[in-house]
Amino acid sequence: LYVSSSANASWGHDRLGQQVLPPGRYWTVRQSESGCSFDLRVVFADGGVFERRNINACQISEFNIQ
């Protein structure tokens, strides 16, 4: 799980590290960078990747991936 400011070209570190988030579970992300626009990258156990850019975190409090 990678979360970074949309203004940042780098994804930064993996927020889960060696942990794996099982289906149906959630992870709370606390972003220390200022601003509302963030990018999200999820790498699944099978190698699949989900990316969403320019998420407005000031307008949402929850983001679900199914």
pTM given for the model: 0.82
Query: pLDDT per residue over 15-50, tens digit each?
Result: 888 888 888 888 888 766 678 899 999 998 899 999
> What local confidence, expressed as pLDDT, does residue 33 receive?
66
How far lies 19's CA from each of 1, 39, 45, in Å? Answer: 10, 21, 11
> What local confidence, expressed as pLDDT, does residue 39 receive?
93
Judged against a pLDDT cut of 70, whether residue 56 lies above it is answered with yes
How far lies 13's CA from each of 24, 36, 62, 63, in Å? Answer: 23, 19, 21, 20
